Structure 1
Amino acid sequence: MAIEIKAPTFPESVADGVVATWHKKPGEACSRDELLVDIETDKVVLEVVAPADGTLVEVLKEEGGVVLGEELIARFEAGAVASPTDPVEKETAQPEATSATAEEPILSPAARRMADEKGFSPADITGTGKGGRVTKEDVVRHAEQNPLVTSPVSSPVASTAPKVDTVTPVFAGERVEKRVPMTRLRAKVAQRLVEAQQTAAMLTTFNEVNMKPVMELRARYKDQFEKRHGVRLGFMSFFVKACTEALRRFPAVNASIDGNDIVYHGYQDVGVAVSSDRGLVVPILRDAEAMTLADIEAKIREYGEKAQAGKLGIEDMTGGTFTLSNGGVFGSLLSTPILNPPQSAILGMHKIQERPMAVNGQVEILPMMYLALSYDHRLLDGKEAVTFLVTIKELLEDPARILLEL
């Protein structure tokens, strides 16, 4: 039975996608739900799987081609398995297929990308996954055992062909350059950041917060918290709760500009910037004002795992009324975050650094963190933005205020 393979339905915020990688070639047999192709959009990579057991008959959109939602990209034959009609050909073809399978094992998408980056031949990697499938961990293990491999190794079958992509050895003093196409996600992030600087009257205000009260509270209850809720107690949940309380008091910070109108949101969807192998992504904590500390920590951990595995969906990153960006995890002491349009503000967190501070006329060494609030001056006045940031500072320096809403 012939089946049309179409691109997934894209949401309104995504105009089109690009065919990133075909994992099957025309004529190859496929199992039901086996990955056929990756389609990269501005936000996520969407996977298209085989609808049934059968054979990929024809590819209509090659890698690098732009596709629209529900556009026909391939044809599939359910229940059909390609096989030679001549018995003699079948006998000779079987050893070749077996040999090819031995030389080119099946790689997961993440494993294939890593193998290409490190210059490994798939035939040299021992797969420990189901059916001999090579996983990302197999590539990492192979890299540890072969640290001196620096260029792709041609397989015996490919060695007889003209070496178009032969890598020339690099000698001392040679100036090497490498050009690679920008991913759709990286290109979209770049476009949005430039638009934010060009369309918004962006300004940044700074303050510093004494993290000692939060750190002491966390140290005192983290074991009980993890035992009770099954998730570790981190700092992000305190910041999210402080921000939601401050947003409740200053609704303009939670608003956005739409043409000549100001849209005030009656909910607080807080975006949390997460770094991934494909670039910066901002999944959303929806209705964050109604979430507990445990809910926030569990959701952030879930988003982090999905980001590293490339499994974040478009619905995870759509919307958002305010954003938190934590550059402190990478050691940043101070920075000016860029707005995430159409939001009117973003809070930048930074490294906790011990510094001498004056407290009641005495010098004390305290764990201090710089906070940076970038905001759209078209919507927020300096007084409102500064007071908003001071409110977050006060809530964090006395965490009981968060529970008592003081």
Structure 2
Amino acid sequence: MATEIRVPTLGESVTEATIAQWFKKPGDAVNADEPLVELETDKVTVEVPAPVAGKLDSIDVKEGDTVEVGALLGSILEGAAGAASAPAAEAAPAAAKAAPAAAAETVEVLVPHAGESVTEAEVGEWSVKVGDVVKADDILVELETDKAAQEVPSPIAGTVVEIAQATGATVEPGNLLCKIAKGDGAAVAAAAPAAAAPAPAVSGTSMPAAPSAAKMMAEKGLSADQVAGSGKRGQVLKGDVLAAVAAGATAAPAAAPAPAAVRAPSAPTDEVREERVRMTKLRQTIARRLKDAQNTAAMLTTYNEVDMKPIMDLRKQYKDIFEKKHGVKLGFMGFFTKAVTHALKEIPAVNAEIDGTDIIYKNYAHIGVAVGTPKGLVVPVVRDADQMSIADIEKEIGSLGRKGRDGKLSMADMQGGTFTISNGGVYGSLMSSPILNAPQSGILGMHKIQERPVAINGQVEIRPMMYLALSYDHRIVDGKEAVTFLVRVKESLEDPQRLVLDL
């Protein structure tokens, strides 16, 4: 009985692929799940496994052909007899790849779905290598999306027998990450040396460029040293060539090979002191969103200052009682968040956003709190902060801050904010102009508390002062509204009783 081999689904935005290479030829014995052919798209390479064990009967497309999802690739004659009749020398690679499956049940670890708006991720550092024994829920690898980092745990206890994606590779939900043989110590000896833990792709790989990539490099006059491969084992894909061309790579002179660097160092002696690091997905998104906010919004900033002595005296008086009752320390963010929600009720335009020719007024306050993490700035959201007490706000901010530092923030934690608070004062900033977190229309910048001489009732006193900055979208927020908003925040902080009395 013949079983058809067809092009699998490659992702929502991918409709075709190129035949990169066949691992088998007609008449070869194959085992179930053994890779038969490698397909190359603009984003990733995909290995198509054998659906059944048997003998490869026919190959309907040749290397270099372009095929669509669902197209017929070839067929397999089912049955162990077909597999057994293959020459021993040709069957050896298949036996080596099938050994882990024969030794123990193999479980595939796939790229998880990270949210509706997330269609791809970048493979970060692997925590394991081929041959490592893992327990259930051990972290295997970290995936970086344009919103957050996500750790992928092991679904079972067993041994890592294959790592399918290299660090730096771009993957989509459902793509294979690795395979784990079930059971303690299973299939360690069966792991092939060639399946060692992946390393970032570098030029000069032994893998030949994919057919479509090789054709494009020839057309553009590029050499392999000018293009960094992102495919398996550093293979150069069509997308890599397009990226190199976009980055400014040009045809190499005939007399000498072209340098591998996209940008020449400032001086020959400086080359050894430079380091080129690829931006993470998160950092790329931060850069894009901040620039988009500058290009789209009519952004202005208004400033004021607040005397922090009343809040500091209140904290000093009640901090021990507060922590004992609520189990969390009494910080400044609870007061600032509460002061902001009070001001938003009076000036709703600061809590609104523009959608085309409409203004959407929010009858709730989801306050984003900017948090610096090792991977970049993230803005988790305190939902319905206007309905929360200062203690509840402090608890939620503390929880979100820990999740941010540990890389545990989910997509849901960072969506839906209506206004943002950024505290540059924790890093020593005395004054700055924060950039809007689009599509929001306002962001409050907190700064360092510094003692300064101020006039109080005709007398010069030293007070702990803080500069406040409100950046706002002038398309929707008038100057009078912006200044009034910031004054209301200042009044609430300098007279905390207003927060209690809702004034």
Q: Verify same fold: TM over 0.5.
A: yes
- Secondary structure of 1:75's aligned partner: strand
| Residue among 4, 25, 29 paired with 2:133 | 29
1:254 corresponds to which residue? 351
- Secondary structure of 1:312's aligned partner: coil
Q: Following superposition of structure 1 onto structure 2, how do residues 284-363 of structure 1 map, counting pairs within 5 Å?
A: 284-363=381-460
Cα distance, 1:29–1:374 mapped onto 2, change above 3 Å: same
TM-score normalised per structure 1: 0.75
Counterpart check, 1:374 vs 2:471 = yes
- Secondary structure of 1:379's aligned partner: coil
- Aligned AA for 2:289? R
Deviation at 1:362, TM superposition (A): 2.0
Q: Deviation digits for residues 238-270 of structure 1, max 9, x if unmatched?
A: 000000111111111111112222111221110
Q: Deviation digits for residues 34-66 of structure 1, max 9, x if unmatched?
A: 222211112222111221123333333222111
- Secondary structure of 1:52's aligned partner: coil
Deviation at 1:301, TM superposition (A): 1.7
Q: Deviation digits for residues 351-400 of structure 1, max 9, x if unmatched?
A: 11111212222222221111000000111111111111111111111110
Q: Deviation digits for residues 272-296 of structure 1, max 9, x if unmatched?
A: 1111111111111111011111111
Higher relative contact order (CA 8 A, sep 6+): 1
State the distance in 2 between where 1:72 and 1:83 align. 20
State the distance in 1 between where 2:141 and 2:271 align. 38
Counterpart check, 1:383 vs 2:480 = yes
Deviation at 1:27, TM superposition (A): 4.2
- Contact 2:368/2:418 (<8 A) preserved: yes
1:69 corresponds to which residue? 173
Q: Which has the larger helix fraction?
A: 1
State the distance in 1 between where 2:315 and 2:131 align. 58
Q: Following superposition of structure 1 onto structure 2, how do residues 5-404 of structure 1 map, counting pairs within 5 Å?
A: 5-79=109-183, 81-84=186-189, 176-404=273-501
- Contact 2:125/2:167 (<8 A) preserved: yes
- Contact 2:150/2:407 (<8 A) preserved: no
Q: Deviation digits for residues 214-233 of structure 1, max 9, x if unmatched?
A: 11111111111111111111
1:4 corresponds to which residue? 108
- Aligned AA for 1:201? A
- Secondary structure of 1:76's aligned partner: strand
State the distance in 2 between where 1:217 and 1:317 align. 31
Q: Moved runs in structure 1, 4+ residues, more than 6 A?
A: none
Greater CA drift, 252-261 or 200-209: 252-261
Cα distance, 1:15–1:362 mapped onto 2, change above 3 Å: same
Q: Deviation digits for residues 178-198 of structure 1, max 9, x if unmatched?
A: 222222212211111111111
Q: Deviation digits for residues 86-108 of structure 1, max 9, x if unmatched?
A: xxxxxxxxxxxxxxxxxxxxxxx
Deviation at 1:174, TM superposition (A): 10
State the distance in 2 between where 1:356 and 1:23 align. 54
CA RMSD of aligned residues (A): 2.2
State the distance in 2 between where 1:216 and 1:29 align. 55
State the distance in 2 between where 1:33 and 1:343 align. 38
- Aligned AA for 2:317? R
State the distance in 2 between where 1:177 and 1:356 align. 46
Identical positions, percent: 58
- Secondary structure of 1:64's aligned partner: coil
TM-score normalised per structure 2: 0.61
State the distance in 2 between where 1:328 and 1:79 align. 52
- Contact 2:161/2:187 (<8 A) preserved: no
State the distance in 2 between where 1:174 and 1:49 align. 39
- Secondary structure of 1:5's aligned partner: strand
Deviation at 1:176, TM superposition (A): 2.2
2:43 corresponds to which residue? none
Cα distance, 1:83–1:384 mapped onto 2, change above 3 Å: closer
Residues matched between the structures, number = 322
- Contact 2:299/2:473 (<8 A) preserved: yes
State the distance in 2 between where 1:247 and 1:227 align. 31
State the distance in 1 between where 2:173 and 2:188 align. 33
- Contact 2:421/2:444 (<8 A) preserved: yes
- Contact 1:256/1:342 (<8 A) preserved: yes
Q: Deviation digits for residues 157-208 of structure 1, max 9, x if unmatched?
A: xxxxxxxxxxxxxxxx998222222222122111111111111110000011
- Contact 2:354/2:360 (<8 A) preserved: yes
Larger radius of gyration: 2
Counterpart check, 1:405 vs 2:502 = yes
- Contact 1:268/1:286 (<8 A) preserved: yes
Cα distance, 1:84–1:285 mapped onto 2, change above 3 Å: closer
Cα distance, 1:379–1:357 mapped onto 2, change above 3 Å: same
- Contact 1:29/1:82 (<8 A) preserved: no
Greater CA drift, 338-347 or 274-283: 274-283
Deviation at 1:4, TM superposition (A): 2.6
